[in-house]
Chain A
Amino acid sequence: MSWVQAISSSGEDVFDEYMDDMQPQQNEWRCNMEKRVKDGYRDGIEAGKESALQNGFNQGYVAGATSMKTIGELKGILSALLTWCQMQKMDSRIIDDLKQLLQTAADQEAVLLERLRISQQETNVSEVTDDIELLELNAVVQETSCGGCGNSVEDPCSKLDNEFDKEHRKKQDLFSKSVECWTFHKVSDSENEHVANLLIQSFELASALNLPAELLQHIKYLGTIQVNVK
C-alpha cells in the first residue's frame, strides 16, 4: 500500500518501534482492504441490479407481449369456434379437429414462452446453462411436433406439415450436435413457421364451415403478420 510505504519512509521515530510489526500489519491491512473491495462489490452488484431490473423488465415485457399476441388470439378464435360448434351440435369430427388444433396451439404457446425465457438471456449466459436449456427446449419441441402431426392425415395441409416436421427433425439433430448461438434463430424461425401453419389449418377449417367473411379475413390477416415476423 503506497501510503503505508510513505509513512514508513517518513523517518518519524514514533513508527520505528513498530517496524518489526509492519509486515503482518501490512498483510492485515491488505486483507482488510480486499475485504472492503469485496464488500463494496457486493453492495454495488445489489444496487446495480436494482437500478437496472425495472428497465430490463420493461424492455422484456414489450418484446414478450409482441411475440405472444398472435398465438393467444388464435387460441381464443379456436375456443370460440369450439363452443359455437358444440352449441350447434355439429359433427363430432369437426369438434375433434378443433380440439386437436386448440391443443396444438396451447402446446405451441408453451414452447414460445420457453423460447422467450431463453432468448432474453441468449448473449449472456454461460455455455453450460445454454446447453441445459437447449436440451429442455428440444424436449418440448419434440413433444409438440408429435402432437402437431397427429391430426394431419386427412388435413389439406398434411403435405406441408410433413415437410415441416422433416425440417423440424433436421433442426433437432442440429441442436444435439451444436449449441452455438445462431441455432436460437433457427428455432425462432421454425416456431414462427409452426404458428403460421396453425393459422393456415385454422383458416381451412373455418372456410369449410362457411364462417362469416369478416372472420376468415381476420385469420388471414393474423397469418400475414406472422409471416412478416419471419
Chain B
Amino acid sequence: MAGPNRSDDLFDSILMADDRFRGEGYMEGFEEGERIGIIEGRCHGAVHGGKVASEVAFYYGFAFTWKCLLQNSTDVKAGKRLKTLETLIGMIQSFSHSDPASTTLQDDLDKVRSKFRQVCSLFSIPADFRQCFEHSGVSF
C-alpha cells in the first residue's frame, strides 16, 4: 500500500505547505494589523472621548455656574431651578469617562443631555443662544 500512502503524504505536504505559508503571512500580518489597530483605535477614541468629555464638562460648567449665581436668590423660581441643576450636577459627577465600552455610557449620556434640555427650558434660554453653543460642537 506504498502508493496510496505516498500519495497521501504528497497531498498532505501540499496542503500543509499551503497552510504553512498562509500561516506565516497571517502571523506577520496580524502583528502589523495590531499596530495599525492600536493607532487607529487610539485616534478615534481620543477624538470621541474628547468630544464626549467636552460636552459633558460643558453641561457641568453651565450648571455649576448657575447654581452659584442662584444660591442666594430670593426669586420664587430659584428653588425649582436649583433642584434641577443639582440633579444635573449629580448625574455628571457620577458619569465615568474611564470605560468607553460600558453598555450604559450612551444611556447615561442621553439622560444628561435630556436633563440639560430641561434646564434650558426651565431657564427660558433663548433659542439663538442655544444655537450659538450647539454650533461649537455640542450636539443634542
Taking the closest CB of chain B, its distance from the CB of A193, in whole angstroms, is 19
CB distance from A185 to the nearest CB of B (A): 16
Q: Is the interface of B mostly helix, strand, loop or mixed?
A: helix
Contacts of A80 in B (CB 8 A): 61-66, 69
B44 contacts the other chain (CB 8 A): yes
Flag A34-55 by CB within 8 Å of B: 1 or 0 each.
Answer: 1011111111111111111111
**Residues of chain B with a CB closer than 8 A to A41's CB:** 25-26, 28-29, 32
* Chain A residues, Cβ within 8 Å of B55: 72
What is the bound-complex CA distance between A89 and B117, given in angstroms? 23
Flag the segment in A62-70, A141-149, A153-161, A165-173 that touches B.
Answer: A62-70
How far is A124 from B39 in the complex, measured between Cα atoms in Å?
A: 8
Q: How many residues of A contact B (CB 8 A)?
A: 73
Q: Give the chain A neighbours of B54 by CB distance below 8 A.
A: 68-69, 71-72, 75, 109, 113
User: Beyond A44-B33, A68-B50, is A76–B65 a contact (Cβ under 8 Å)?
Assistant: yes
A47–B37 Cα distance when bound, in Å, is 9
Residues in chain B near residue A69, CB distance under 8 A: 53-54, 57
- Do B53 and A37 have beta carbons less than 8 Å apart? no
Residue of A nearest to B62 (CB): A76
CA distance A198 to B11 in the complex (A): 73
B107 interface hit (Cβ, 8 Å): no
Is the CB of A59 closer than 8 A to any CB of chain B? Answer: yes
Contact between B60 and A59, CB atoms less than 8 A apart? no
Instruction: List the B residue with the shortest CB-CB distance to A7.
Output: B10
Can you offer 10 A-B residue contacts whose CB atoms are under 8 A?
A: A33-B21, A52-B33, A53-B38, A54-B101, A64-B46, A65-B49, A75-B58, A75-B61, A102-B136, A120-B45
Chain A residues with CB under 8 Å of chain B are 1, 3, 7, 33-34, 36-84, 86, 102-103, 106, 109-110, 112-113, 116-117, 119-121, 124, 211-212, 214-215, 218
Given contacts A48-B29, A58-B41, 15 further A-B contacts (CB under 8 A): A36-B21, A44-B26, A45-B29, A46-B29, A49-B40, A55-B41, A57-B41, A61-B45, A72-B54, A72-B56, A73-B60, A73-B61, A75-B54, A75-B58, A119-B46
